[in-house]
Structure 1
Amino acid sequence: MSRAMPRTPRILTFTALGLAGALALAGCASADQSSSGDETASTGSTLPQELVDAAVAAATTAADGQDLSGTLEMVGVSTGADADPFIGAISAFEEATGVTVNYTGAPDQATVVPAAVEAGNAPDIVDGQGLGLMQQFAASGDAVSLSDVIGDDVLADNFNPGLLQSATVDGQVYGIWNEADTFQIFYNPATYDGPTEGSWQDLSAWSEALAASGTGVAPWCMGLEAGAGSGFPAQGFIENLFVKQFGSDALAAWASGELPWTSDEVRWAFEEFGRIATSETMVAGGPQAAVSTSAFSFMDGMYTDPQACQLTLWGNYAAGIVQGSNPEATVPDGLNFFDIPASDPAYAGALDVAGHVTFALNDDPATAAFMKYWATPEAQSLIAASGRYTVANVNVPLDVYPNENMRGSAELLLAAETVTPGPASAIPTAVNTAYLQGILSYIQDPASLDSILAGIEAAKS
């Protein structure tokens, strides 16, 4: 039995008008309209009633008998349908507490949230892409310690140690991971005849043989064009090659800035990626096509006739993207995936992740209750039940996931020996911009790698 969520928070989509203005509009905007007048996300999908009831109960417990009311302003990175799973979980909190949560979608958080804080109009809660904003506001003293609000013991019972450590500043946890994206290799089972087990070296040998075979089918699909975010699919590729060769401790050191971009380890990961991305035969259409092809259509090459390419290394969300234009690509018969093989078997269980980190900029009772609730398996089960994301709470049951893609991704997350966010999830905006630009420059001019890595390192200062 299922039912629609009982309440729908007011949702705004914010781009570049100033967060203070967007938050002011939250008090008067229609529930069905964004600040620009476009239709916004809704919670039209249904969720299992037992999960909704459990989430409402968890929110009631988080409120701890307090008579809460009023409004919370929450800024999230997701907009449109991507925000629906989070809105569903927010609605259960609203039902339990009577608090209204105004969710504002702000993809350009790195600009608008600091501006709002500087203007004295900070949102109560931020659901950020990765760790960068959380670390910034923890360092400035604006973020609220969740070690105090929730308790380290509760957090340790619900989250992987690597994720908790990544959200820790000066011994205090400041962020809750909710969405946690894993990375894997996707393929079309109807056409792929290569290895799904073994080492990275085994997969590379198969790839090189196919590239040299003259069939016209490239082993790898790649598309990096995404506007201001162009290059981002390659970040997961490079970082996963890195962690499977050097391990989670080295990945954490790279993400924190302790391991420089000019190190031999980082250079190795770029060059290993470059063996594919800079080759005319290893990637469909060659390097220029990799740079110019949309990040949201390049996987179609696995389904064209004739087929253009065989494999994609990307986040677990890739399945949903490819299914948008290829309805036959259902998991597992029309689309399947396997874990990224390790080049060093000692690090086969090391996992790189990306995703959302929620933090608080207010310590009032309603905000504290929300953060307690947001960390619970009941809240994150509602996000997982959407079938759109895997979540970080280790106590969310696998059977909550309604599709095999996300369930398999969650199994990978739970089975990992170590879980570590890579640099793309942790570095400041300026460094990430240099990282993205550096990837595109490297593909077009591989000989410039030394100067590219030096430039990214310089962006840290």
Structure 2
Amino acid sequence: MSAPPTGPGPAVAPRRRTRARTVTVLAGCLILLAAALVAGVRALGQEPTVTLLANWTGTDESNFRDTVLKPFERTHHIHVDYQGSSAESQVLGGDVEAGTPPDVVVLTGPGELAAYARQGQLKPLDDLVPRAGFGASWTTPLDGHTYWFPLKADLKSIVWYPAGTGERQLAEAARDPGQWCVGMGSGATSGWPGTDWIEDILLQRSGPDAYQQWARGVLPWQSTQLKGAWKTWGRLMGAGGNPDLVRRALKTPYENASEPVTRTPRGCTLEHQGAFIRTMDAWKRADGRYVPSARLIPGAKAADAWEVSGDLVALLHATPEATTLIRYLASADAQRAWSVRESGFSVGPGARPAPSDAGAAWHRTLAATLLDDRAVHCFDASDAMPPSVRDAFAEATIEFLAHPDHLDALLRNLDSLRLAPGLTWLQSVCDRTPGTG
């Protein structure tokens, strides 16, 4: 709407211009003063602050800061002192031991969080987070309380391949150990790509019930189901028969495993990896597509069962600033922010995308699978296990690839760890089992 015309009175117009200049100058001074006050308060350490520890660095950290933290700081006028570390578990353990833990932490392992909860380090979130807003596999209760919820989710049980690869080529590649892109290296957490393999093979071959019994510490490592999963993985990787392939897998960092996909001639064709790997340069260049792993795992019988993982938020200090951040991170706005950058997925309230939502086709279909009420979603079993068992499992996958004849001894050792006193096992890792939905 246009402003109505006004008469050009000779005395009025100059006063309006002067008043406008005065208001403009005053507004500018107020803005500068406010900025100076904010800077001064921060410099004096008087601005309300909440400390947050997570494992996101690089691009993930930038996305988290831009899409989640900055809007929170602008809206609530609370500064977030963020620390990102790839050795997050070690950093948190040292901080807890020193008596200086962060206010809020984001960890990938509910098993590790359960141990901290039993030690009295975590605060219940019952009044801060609507448990009904997340599936049962994401907010597993402990002693009747909710201690964590997912901020960023990921889908596993998938195999990536380059665009243009036909069904017959996929089947042939799956039977050839040399066509699998594998990297077991990951610094202090090396071996976890192998645990993902064994978990998924067990889930697809023996079903969610056996998977859950194992993740709860009930099904023995020396059981027929578990031993079969290890042997199936060994055959897929060429363990015991192709030392060059095994050597390559053991020496390759997981983030570089897909690089041979873009070489000429192609060095590998398939990668069993979580949805996040699609953002790597090699799969971008190869226009990566995916199939459910059940289509390529020998002996798979499970119907629509998926392994999932997530970055879980927990509270260590219930300060007003920290509880405000917890409520925000559980909100639909914060949960939805990850999907905007396609740097992750959300399974929180309001996360279900609208049919008109833009984005890559692979991202939309994977998001729909994560939110599919008809499917069975089981949290990453090793992440749900007590840390001592989880770490030994990861180390055992490396030992097994190098020496598959050591399998019986490795499984006996894992069983002895499973039965150790004082461990905290979660009672559920799947949102449901077939026939209960």
TM-score, normalisation: structure 2: 0.77
Any runs of at least 4 consecutive aligned residues in structure 1 with deviations exceeding 4 A, and if so which?
A: 342-346
| 2:154 alignment partner in structure 1 | 181
Deviation at 1:128, TM superposition (A): 0.8
| Equivalent residue letter for 1:383 | W
Say whether the 8 Å CA contact 2:174–2:270 is kept in structure 1: no
Q: Return the offset for 1:261.
A: 2.1
2:217 to 243, 257, 278: 257
- Residue 137 of structure 2 is aligned to residue 162 of structure 1: yes
After TM superposition, the structure 1 stretch with the greater mean CA deviation from structure 2, 350-359 or 247-256, is 247-256
Please give the secondary structure, in 2, of the residue aligned with 1:172: coil
What letter matches 2:89 in structure 1?
A
Report the counterpart of residue 83 of structure 1 in structure 2: 61
Q: Aligned Cα RMSD in Å?
A: 2.7
Q: Which structure: larger Rg?
A: 2
Structure 1, unmatched stretches of 5+, are 1-26, 30-67, 197-202, 212-216
Q: Which position in structure 2 is the counterpart of 1:8?
A: none
Match of 1:143 in 2: 122
- The Cα of 1:368 is off from its aligned counterpart by 1.8
DSSP-derived class of the 1:341 partner: helix
Kept in 2: contact 1:192–1:310 (CA 8 A): no
* Equivalent residue number for residue 194 of structure 1: 168
1:442 aligns with one of 400, 407, 412: 400
Task: Say which of 282, 293, 296 aligns to 1:340.
Answer: 293
Deviation of 1:236 after TM superposition, in Å, equals 1.5
- Report the AA paired with residue 428 of structure 1: P
State percent identity of aligned pairs: 23
Higher relative contact order (CA 8 A, sep 6+): 2
SS state at 1:354 partner: strand
**How far apart are residue 442 of structure 1 and its match?**
0.7
Q: How far has the Cα of 1:345 moved from its partner?
A: 6.9
Is the CA contact (8 Å cut-off) linking 1:163 and 1:419 kept in structure 2?
A: no
Instruction: Quote the Cα distance in structure 1 between the aligned partners of 2:299 and 2:398.
Output: 27
Q: Which SS does the other structure have where 1:296 is aligned?
A: helix
1:408 aligns to 2:381 (yes or no): no
| Cα pair distance change 1:172/1:249, threshold 3 Å | farther
Measure how far apart 1:327 and its partner are: 5.0
Cα distance in 1 for residues equivalent to 2:244 and 2:266? 12
- Mark the runs of 5 or more structure 2 residues left unpaired by the alignment: 1-41, 421-437
Sort the Cα spacing of 1:326 and 1:255 in 2 relative to 1 into closer, same or farther, 3 A. Answer: closer
Q: Deviations over 1:322-367 (max 9, x none)?
A: x2x46522xxxx2211112166776222111112111001222222
TM-score, normalised on structure 1?
0.73
TM-superposed deviation, 1:254: 1.9
Of 220, 231, 252 in structure 1, the residue corresponding to residue 191 of structure 2 is 231
Segment drifting more, 264-273 vs 397-406: 397-406
Verify the 8 A CA contact 1:221 1:299 in the aligned structure 2: yes
Between the two proteins, the alignment pairs up a number of residues equal to 370
Distance change >3 Å, CA 407–CA 130, structure 1 → 2:
farther
Structure 2 counterpart of 1:408, one-letter code: T
| Preserved CA contact (<8 Å) 1:178 1:356 | yes
Whichever residue aligns with residue 94 of structure 2, its letter is A
Distance 1:28 1:439 in 2: 49
Give the CA deviation at 1:318. Answer: 1.4
